[in-house]
Amino acid sequence: MNFPIISSLILLPTIGALFIFFTRPSSKKYQSSKYVALFISLANFLLSLYLWYIFDKSNVDFQFVENREWLSGFINYKVGIDGISILFILLTTFIVPICIISVNATVTNKLKNFLIAILLMETMMIGVFCSLDLVVFYLFFEAGLIPMFLIIGIWGGERRVYSAFKFFLYTLLGSVLMLIAIISIYWITGTTDVVKLYEIGIDPKYQKLLWLAFFSSFAVKTPMWPVHTWLPDAHVEAPTAGSVLLAAILLKMAGYGFIRFSLGLFPIASEYFIPLIYFLSLIAIIYTSLVALMQEDMKKLIAYSSVAHMGFVTLGIFTMTQQGIEGSIIQMISHGLVSAALFLSVGVLYERMHTRMINKYSGLVLIMPKYAIVLMVFTLGSIGLPGTSGFVGEFLILMGAFKKNFLVATIASLGVILGAAYMLWLYKRVIFGNLINEDLKKLIDLKKIEILVFSSLVFPILFFGFYPEPLINSVETSVINLIDMYNFNINNNLVLKK
């Protein structure tokens, strides 16, 4: 296979962005740039579906690897995928077209620049999920900050400047330590190639510090308690499409990073720090769920629920069991779909009423029955009701957790109940009840394009809820391989110590 399919995936959105930048006029009425962007992102989606189709699920190694000399002598541009990354790439390429379709009403000025920013984001996100070199990974990981900073800052709400700065500086602070760790790894082992590093391993005496440096970056990005405070701000102020990208994909970069790098490169340190992760994850699950209960702003509520859901993800990853890690991956995919859908739903209301306050709404079921049905599916998906994709993820994570630590699993299960509480309460307050507000009567139900967007999200949520086989199938080999490698390293280290 000589065709560089992964590089095409990475570069296609950038080419689209350049095309829009140079050729499309920036007048407000002229929408052709939107069609170009949509076309490019759909093409990318089809390309990634094709990639999924030809991807060999039984193969343990990285596939479609491309290796080019880049920084002379020591760092190569190396990309490739395994069963874990292919799912995240699919999620990215699936969410971006939806963002672009939904962009219409929320972004009124500078539509062209907005689309360019989103397409550049797509490049960076795909790059993160398939880079097989630490420096290349860092490059994509950090470069995503620039378009996101602009998306929040230019097209955001009232406190956009504060939120954009907070987002940028928090994330940058976290990741500079990772840069030091990456360079240290280069000098310790002589390479930053992930595949080679998997083979040769890193000296256990350095692992703890390196793990902490990577952790500082991923913890901010996940976000874990107590560095999660940038997320609600960023979500509330970002435009709908920005929130969707942030919740659905950006947060997953950290979860992916934990699996690929923390577990894969520093198994001994990961084992050592398991209690820390459990502790922070449980706080995230319980505490942010309680905080979510008290929110009056819909977007903020969903943002806090994201923190709680990502708490499950980190918990699942560090159970180091097959169920736990697979559950985390599925939970991330499912959360990507559900949170995107929820933010879009809030966007629909905000477009019509220009407020996100929960107490301004009630009794929407009388006026917008279709919306009520759609939101019902998403709410249940967020709760993790059997039959939605959320259930599969949470169930597997808890299964993995029970295997390892009964107490932790029990407390985490409480989080599921709290999750149901805040989501159902939100649904009850917004959808049921009487129409208290006169303005609400003027609302119109979902338009055709919105129905299209929402049904394209409802379908995978339900489909993977009933039939998660395709997801599990593609990650299974890679996850088993990862765990084997992990256990091998731990046992080796124990032998060495004796």
Partner 1 sequence: MIENLELILPEIFVSLAIMLFLIIGVYKKNSSSLVYYLSTVSLLVLFALLFNYYSLSESSLFNESYKIDKLATFMKLLTAVSGIFVMLTSSKYIQLNKIDKIEYPILILSSILGMMVMISSNDLIVFYMGLELQSLALYVLASFNRDNIFSTESGLKYFVLSALSSGLLLYGCSLIYGFAESTNFNVIINNTNSANYGLTFGIVFILVGLAFKISAVPFHMWAPDVYQGSPTSVTLFFAILPKIAALTVFIRFLYVPFANMNDQWQIIIVFLSIGSMLFGAVAAIGQRNLKRLVAYSSIGHMGYALAGLSTSTNEGIQSSIIYMTIYLIMNLAFFSCLFMLRRNESYYENIEDLSGLSKNHPILSFSLLVILFSLAGIPPLAGFFAKFYIFMAVIEESMYFLAIVGLLSTVISAFYYLRIIKVIYFDPDMDKYDTNHHFGLKFTLAITTIFILIYFIYPRGLTDLISKIIII
Residues that bind partner 1 (CB under 8 A): 26, 69-72, 135, 138-139, 142-143, 145-146, 149-150, 153-154, 160-161, 164-165, 168-169, 172-173, 176-177, 179-180, 183-184, 186-187
CB of 306 to partner 1, least distance (A): 25
Unique residue bearing structure tokens 């990475």: 10
Rounded least distance, CB 186 to partner 1, Å = 7
What's phi and psi for 78, nearest 5 deg?
-130, 125
Minimum CB separation of residue 231 from partner 1 in Å reads 19
Residue closer to partner 1 (CB basis): 150 or 416: 150
Neighbours of 407 (CB within 10 A): 10
How many other C-beta atoms are found inside a 10 Å radius of the C-beta of residue 473?
12
* Least distance to partner 1, CB of residue 165, Å: 6
Four-residue CA torsion sign, 394, 399, 402, 405 = negative
3-state SS, residue 74: coil
Q: In angstroms, give the least distance from the CB of 75 to partner 1.
A: 9
Nearest Cα to Cα of residue 269 among 493, 13, 35, 497: 493
User: Would you say 135 or 280 has its CB closer to partner 1?
Assistant: 135
Given a contact cutoff of 8 angstroms between Cβ atoms, the answer to whether 10 and 41 are in contact is no
Complex with partner 1: residue 131 or 289, whichever CB lies closer: 131
Which of 57, 208 has the CB closer to partner 1?
Answer: 208
In angstroms, the CA 134 to CA 131 distance is 8
**What are 286's two structure tokens?**
């319980």
CB of 135 to partner 1, least distance (A): 8
Residue 145 vs 483, nearer CB to partner 1: 145
List the one residue out of 436, 450, 263, 276 whose CA is nearest residue 346: 450
Instruction: Report the nearest approach of partner 1 to the CB of residue 146 (Å).
Output: 6
Q: Specify the residue, 26 or 229, whose C-beta has the smaller distance to partner 1.
A: 26
Q: Compute the distance between CA of residue 248 and CA of residue 240 in angstroms, rounded to an integer.
A: 12
Are 126 and 68 contacting, i.e. CB atoms less than 8 angstroms apart? Answer: no
Smaller CB distance to partner 1: residue 113 or 478? Answer: 113
Partners of residue 67 on adjacent β-strands: 78
**Distance of closest approach, residue 156 Cβ to partner 1, in angstroms:** 9
Looking at the Cβ atoms of 11 and 424, the one nearer to partner 1 is 11
Calpha distance 430→454 (Å, rounded): 18
Least spacing, CB of residue 183 vs partner 1, in Å: 5
The nearer residue to partner 1, 7 or 405, going by C-beta atoms, is: 7
> Among residues 183 and 290, whose Cβ is nearest to partner 1?
183
C-alpha torsion angle, residues 298, 303, 308, 313 (rounded to 10):
140
Q: Count H helices, E strands: the chain? A: 22, 2
Q: By C-alpha distance, which of 379, 397, 370, 331 is closest to 455?
A: 370
Nearest-angstrom CA–CA distance, 332 and 249: 9
Q: How many CB atoms lie within 10 A of CB 462?
A: 16
Minimal distance in Å, beta carbon 110 to partner 1?
8
Residue 74 or 279: which CB sits closer to partner 1? 74
Q: Could you tell me how far CA 48 lies from the centroid of its own chain?
A: 17
Q: Give the nearest distance from C-beta 180 to partner 1 in angstroms.
A: 5
Are 355 and 348 in contact by the 8 Å Cβ rule? The answer is no
* C-beta of residue 250 within 8 angstroms of C-beta of residue 191: no
Residue 322 has which token pair? 């097959």
